[in-house]
Copies of this chain bind each other. A is one copy, B any other.
Amino acid sequence: VAGWCATVPGPLDYDPIEDARRQWPERWGGDAVPAMSAVGAIVRAQLLLGGRINALLQPHGLTLSRYHALIKLVLTEEGALPLGVLSARMEVHPTAITSLVRALERDGLVRRDRLRSDRRTTLAAITPAGREAAEAATVTLNASRFGMDGIADADLEAVYAILRGMWTSARDVAPAD
């Protein structure tokens, strides 16, 4: 149990998923073992990536959430989005956007404007400082392949293609309301 704890699970002598895979079939049958393994792996990978990526972003004064928001703005050439749209694109609760954008504003990375055409909506607009931060952070993340170095591109594309099936399949279309 080396330097892990704290968000960053390390490489382990005890592999939790392997252990579960060993014991699962005799207790509950083997049917769900692939699913159980994949779910475990996804959860653990997400935890690990969170730690790695946040560590990469820390020198830039960003977290993954804050970087995510900045990138969404950068990718909309106007560099601005209504909070509601930003919330939808990031897929986080509308309420979370409020505090997130407020924090970015405190650091001078975005500006908040009321829309003149409809003064209900607040516009989050990226500032020059915000663009710089996003660019620099992206260079860092690209260089370390988003914490994924060590895995081949073909494998990464395979993971992407498979997981994409979770939201492109017709499985949980909206229940016709």
A142 close to chain B: CB less than 8 A:
yes
How many whole Å from A86's CB to the nearest CB in chain B? 11
Instruction: Report whether B156 and A35 are in contact in the complex, using a CB–CB cutoff of 8 Å.
Output: yes
Interface size on A, residues (CB 8 A): 80
Taking CB atoms, residues of chain B closer than 8 Å to A11 are 167-174
Instruction: Report whether A37 and B156 are in contact in the complex, using a CB–CB cutoff of 8 Å.
Output: yes
A–B pairs, 20, beta carbons within 8 Å? A3-B174, A5-B94, A11-B171, A16-B90, A17-B164, A20-B71, A28-B139, A32-B145, A34-B156, A35-B145, A35-B151, A37-B160, A38-B156, A39-B53, A44-B163, A44-B167, A149-B171, A150-B165, A151-B165, A158-B158
